Amino acid sequence: MTEMGKSIKFFYHYMKRYKLGFTVTILAIIASTYFQVTAPVYMGKAITELANYVIGLTHGVSDKGSFMQSIWLLLLFYVLTTVGMFISNIVVTYISGNSTNRMRRGLFGKLQKMTIKFFDSHQDGDILSRFTSDLDNISNALNQALGEIMINVAMMIGIIIMMFHENVSLAWVTIASTPVAVIIAVILIAKTRKYVDMQQDEVGKLNGYINEQISGQKIVISNGLQDEAVKGFLPHNEKVRKATFKGQVYSGMLFPVMNGLSLVNTAIVIFFGGWMALNGDMARTTALGLVVVFVQYSQQFYQPISQISSLYSMFQVAITGARRLNETFEEPDEINPKNGKQLTDLQQGVELKHVHFGYNEGKEILHDVSMNVEKGHMVALVGPTGSGKTTIMNLLNRFYDVNAGSVTFDGTDVRDIELKSLRDHVGIVLQESVIFSGSIRDNISFGKPDATDEEIYEAAKQADIHEFILNLDKGYDTQVSDENSVFSTGQKQLVSIARTILTNPTLLILDEATSNVDTVTEAKIQKAMDNVIQGRTSFVIAHRLKTILNANKIVVLKDGKVIEQGSHDQLLEEKGFYSELYHNQFVFE
Q: Which of 389, 398, 524, 568 binds ligand ATP (CB under 6 A)?
A: 389
User: Smallest distance from the beta carbon of 396 to ligand ATP, in angstroms?
Assistant: 12
Segment lying near ligand ATP (by CB under 6 A), choices 50-58, 183-191, 379-387, 484-492: 379-387
Q: Would you say 148 or 512 has its CB closer to ligand ATP?
A: 512
Select from 15-23, 381-389, 524-532, 574-582 the region that touches ligand ATP (CB under 6 A).
381-389
Cβ closer to ligand ATP: 468 or 577?
577
* Nearest to ligand ATP of 346, 369 (CB atom): 369
Only one of the segments 157-165, 172-180, 384-392, 520-528 lies at the binding site for ligand ATP (rule: CB under 6 A); that segment is: 384-392
Q: For residue 16, what is the enclosing H or E element?
A: none
Binding mask 118-147 for ligand ATP (x = CB under 6 A): --x---------------------------
Calculate ∠ Cα 379-383-387, nearest 5°: 110
Q: What is the nearest approach in angstroms of ligand ATP to the Cβ of residue 414?
A: 18
Sole binder of ligand ATP in the list 2, 385, 471, 484 (CB under 6 A):
385
Cβ-based nearer residue to ligand ATP, 120 or 573? 120
Query: How many Å apart are CA 353 and CA 408, to the nearest integer?
Result: 8
Q: Can you tell me the distance from the alpha carbon of 421 to that of 436, in angstroms, rounded to the nearest whole number?
A: 23
Alpha helices in 363-515 (DSSP H): 389-396, 419-425, 440-444, 453-462, 466-470, 489-503
Contact 426, 505 (CB under 8 A): yes
Contacts of residue 273, defined as CB under 8 A and 6 or more positions apart, other chains included, come to: 170, 287, 290, 291, 294, 295
CB of 557 to ligand ATP, least distance (A): 7
- Phi, psi (degrees; rounded to nearest 5) at 501: -55, -40
409-438: contacts with ligand ATP (CB under 6 A): none
Residue span binding ligand ATP (CB under 6 A) among the ranges 9-17, 96-104, 140-148, 380-388:
380-388
Q: Radius of gyration over alpha carbons of the chain, in Å?
A: 36
The minimum distance between CB 121 and ligand ATP, in angstroms, equals: 7
Contacts for 231-236 with beta carbons within 8 Å, 24 or more apart? 233/206, 233/209, 236/202, 236/205, 236/206, 236/209
Q: Three-state SS for 446?
A: helix
Amino acid at 82: T
DSSP state of 417: B
- Return all residues near 261 (Cβ < 8 A) that are at least 6 apart: 177, 180, 181, 184, 302
Report in angstroms how near the CB of residue 355 gets to ligand ATP at its nearest.
Answer: 13
Q: Closest Cα to residue 170, out of 154, 158, 156, 159? A: 159
With binding defined as CB under 6 A, does residue 369 bind ligand ATP?
Answer: no
Rule CB under 6 A: choose which of 386, 411, 438, 475 binds ligand ATP.
386
- Identity at 533, one-letter amino acid code: I
User: Which residue stretch of 185-193, 291-299, 382-390, 512-520 sits at the interface with ligand ATP (rule: CB under 6 A)?
Assistant: 382-390
From the centroid of its chain, how far is CA 544?
A: 40
By C-beta, is 317 or 414 nearer to ligand ATP? 414
For residue 365, state whether it binds ligand ATP (rule: CB under 6 A): yes
Query: Smallest gap, in angstroms, from Cβ of residue 457 to ligand ATP?
Result: 33
* Cα–Cα dist 490/481, whole Å: 16
Verify binding: residue 398, ligand ATP, rule CB under 6 A.
no
Residue 189 CA, distance from chain mean position: 26
The residue range among 73-81, 123-131, 164-172, 378-386 that interacts with ligand ATP, by the rule CB under 6 A, is 378-386
Which amino acid belongs to residue 463?
A: A
- DSSP code, position 376: T
Taking the complex as a whole, the smallest distance from the CB of residue 562 to ligand ATP amounts, in Å, to: 12
Alpha carbons 273 and 286: distance in angstroms, whole number: 11
Q: Does 515 bind ligand ATP (CB under 6 A)?
A: no
Query: Which residue number, 387 or 537, has a Cβ lying nearer to ligand ATP?
Result: 387
E strand or H helix at 56: none
Q: Which one among 88, 137, 177, 387 touches ligand ATP, defined by CB under 6 A?
A: 387
Which amino acid is located at 417 in the chain? I
x-marked contacts with ligand ATP along 80-119 as a string, rule CB under 6 A: ----------------------------------------
Identify which range of 71-79, 144-152, 386-394, 500-508 contacts ligand ATP by CB under 6 A: 386-394
For residues 465 and 557, which CB has a smaller minimum distance to ligand ATP in the complex?
557
Closest CA to 153 of 22, 282, 32, 304: 304
C-beta of 120 vs 330, nearer to ligand ATP: 120
Q: Which of 40, 147, 340, 388 lies at the binding interface for ligand ATP (CB under 6 A)?
A: 388
Q: Interface with ligand ATP includes 391 (CB under 6 A)? A: yes
Residue 359 binds ligand ATP (CB under 6 A): yes
Q: At 572, which amino acid appears?
A: L
- Burial class for 253, CB neighbours closer than 10 Å (0-12, 13-18, 19+): middle
* Number of residues this chain uses to bind ligand ATP (CB under 6 A): 12
C-beta of 117 vs 461, nearer to ligand ATP: 117
**Binding residues for ligand ATP, per CB under 6 A?**
120, 359-360, 365, 383, 385-391
